[in-house]
């Protein structure tokens, strides 16, 4: 590539981080890594009405959990700061005023009441070429009137003056040539009455100042592209404009429309990377992390929502994604979110992860459930034995709690109908002669005694499992018995017999 790659993820600190936002950050990160570039986090906090305390740190925490930590950010500034738009406020008015001087923008003094009246008067009102000369702005007022309004600090905004009957086109790295008719584009506000820029002005000024080479963002921003292209041109920076890539939407599971938080609430899955607590209400919106997803699985799942490497491979580490990612393999079409597939990724990552990768997370889940883990070797054996059965990290609790505590309850209904005194005698005899050298030896002894007592081993295996674990689940029952040891296995057999006999 001719110029140095610098990309940015530029979220607004207004609440939880949607998985679509994380995917945008991920694609920025992967493109930067693939091209020896720089991944920048820029906080777009110019909308003070929507600013939420704590949201910026939450975004940082989400990126850290995912393993896609920015090279430059408010917390790790480089040579292109500040990295919060609110701290760059002074720079924006200068460029807005320059646009006015050059005839590309104008002051608009319309009050909210005047704008509301115009919306009632004109259906689907847009402030633009067809209406701007009916409004109260520096195009319709005299120079002296404008100067007086400015001198008296009359509230006003600055709007771009979109030209009539032009075609604005640009090359999108995903969609190819994209064009817009300016007659369909309204005069967007560039600078608000509080002196803060809107996204339209800020994104252009900041991308120029930070020397951004490529701009990845969701396709919902496509309608704004002509305004941004015009601003790059009007400010004299067209030659330095970043290459654009508008990412496909992440769609609802049925494919109809963009995935939203409401869809997650309705269908019972998270759409945020991590738990988000609303500072005003205290309401918690659940995230993938707290539901029990591994970051490796979350990132793997997100990468394949709209991208593939051209093969049938589905499991990718972050390192592999860094090596294989390319814009050419990003789809134009929206990608349907499938929560069952997301869980499949997590199950696969749990299965393929080592004890070193899993043990702290599993230990934390067990301790949350009130289970104290002292023996790390014992925990490691358990993890290797049950991880194939776990889809989410909390599943380790249900799948392993019986290794630490004798069952408090039993699936009685699965045993009682066929429970007999003869079966009780069998288990008492088995306990008396119990040896647990290894699972194979224990199983052979169990089957030999069953034959001697006139039972088919199959009709005794389920009661034995329920004695040890409380239900019809878990790995091989003799593997469980070996791990529990002779004394604990005997104690559980005796305790269960007493319950089954009642």
Give residue-wise pLDDT tens across range 59-115: 999 999 999 999 999 999 999 999 999 899 888 999 999 999 999 999 999 999 999
- Per DSSP, what are the bridge partners of residue 243? 214
Find out whether 43 and 76 touch, Cβ atoms under 8 Å: no
**pLDDT the model gives residue 48:** 78
**pLDDT the model gives residue 377:** 94
Compute CA distances 219 → 256, 345, 398, 428, 443, whole Å: 15, 26, 42, 69, 60
**pLDDT the model gives residue 2:** 60
Nearest to 163 by CA among 233, 246, 222: 233
**pLDDT the model gives residue 42:** 97
Residues identified as active-site? 261
Q: How many CA atoms lie within 13 A of 168 on its CB side?
A: 23
Nearest to 22 by CA among 292, 272, 291: 272
Regions of the chain with pLDDT less than 70: 1-2
The residue to which tokens 């003799």 are assigned: 478
- Report d(CA 143, CA 150) in Å as an integer: 11
Give residue-wise pLDDT tens across range 441-460: 999 999 999 999 999 999 99
Is the pTM value of this prediction over 0.85?
Answer: yes
**pLDDT the model gives residue 46:** 82
Identify the burial level of 360 via C-beta atoms within 10 angstroms of its C-beta, where 0-12 means exposed, 13-18 middle and 19 or more buried. exposed
Work out the angle between the directed axes of helices 376-386 and 477-484 (0-180°, nearest 10): 180
> Is 423 known to sit in a ligand binding site?
no
């Amino acid at each position: 590539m001719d110029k140095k790659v610098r990309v940015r993820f530029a979220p607004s600190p207004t609440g939880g981080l949607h998985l679509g936002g994380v995917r945008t950050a991920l694609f920025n990160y992967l493109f930067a890594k693939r091209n020896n570039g720089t991944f920048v986090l820029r906080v777009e906090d110019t909308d003070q009405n929507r600013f939420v305390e704590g949201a910026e740190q939450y975004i940082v925490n989400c990126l850290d959990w995912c393993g896609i930590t920015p090279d430059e950010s408010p917390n790790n500034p480089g040579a292109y700061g500040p990295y919060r738009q609110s701290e760059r406020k002074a720079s924006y008015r200068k460029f807005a005023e320059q646009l006015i001087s050059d005839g590309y923008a104008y002051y608009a003094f319309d009050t909210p009441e005047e704008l509301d009246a115009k919306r009632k008067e004109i259906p689907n009102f847009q402030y633009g070429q067809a209406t701007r000369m009916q409004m109260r702005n520096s195009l319709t007022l005299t120079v002296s009137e404008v100067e007086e309004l400015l001198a008296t600090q009359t509230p006003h905004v600055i709007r771009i003056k979109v030209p009539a009957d032009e075609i604005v086109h640009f090359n999108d790295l995903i969609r190819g040539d994209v064009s817009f008719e300016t007659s369909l584009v309204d005069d967007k506000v560039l600078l608000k009455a509080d002196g803060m820029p809107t996204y339209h002005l800020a994104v252009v000024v900041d991308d120029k100042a930070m020397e951004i080479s490529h701009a990845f963002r969701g396709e919902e921003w496509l309608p704004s592209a002509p305004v941004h292209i015009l601003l790059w041109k009007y400010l004299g920076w067209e030659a330095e404009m970043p290459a654009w890539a508008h990412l496909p939407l992440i769609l609802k599971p049925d494919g109809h429309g963009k995935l939203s938080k409401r869809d997650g609430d309705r269908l019972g899955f998270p759409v945020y990377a991590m738990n988000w607590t609303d500072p005003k209400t205290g309401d918690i919106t659940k995230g993938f992390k707290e539901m029990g997803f591994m970051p490796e699985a979350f990132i793997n799942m997100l990468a394949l929502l709209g991208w593939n490497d051209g093969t049938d491979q589905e499991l990718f580490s972050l390192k592999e994604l860094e090596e294989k990612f390319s814009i050419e393999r990003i789809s134009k079409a929206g990608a349907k979110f499938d929560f069952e597939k997301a869980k499949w990724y997590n199950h696969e990552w749990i299965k393929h992860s080592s004890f070193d990768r899993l043990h702290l997370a599993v230990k934390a889940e067990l301790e949350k459930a009130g289970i104290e883990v002292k023996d790390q070797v014992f925990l490691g054996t358990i993890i290797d034995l049950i991880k194939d059965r776990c889809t989410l990290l909390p599943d380790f609790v249900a799948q392993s709690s019986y290794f630490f505590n004798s069952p408090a309850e039993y699936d009685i209904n699965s045993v009682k109908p066929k429970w007999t005194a003869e079966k009780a005698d069998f288990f008492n005899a088995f306990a008396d002669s119990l040896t647990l050298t290894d699972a194979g030896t224990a199983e052979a002894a169990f089957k030999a005694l069953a034959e001697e007592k006139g039972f088919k081993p199959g009709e005794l295996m389920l009661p034995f499992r329920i004695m040890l674990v409380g239900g019809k689940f878990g790995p091989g029952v003799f593997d469980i018995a070996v791990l529990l040891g002779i004394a604990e296995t005997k104690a559980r057999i005796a305790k269960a017999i007493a319950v089954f006999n009642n």
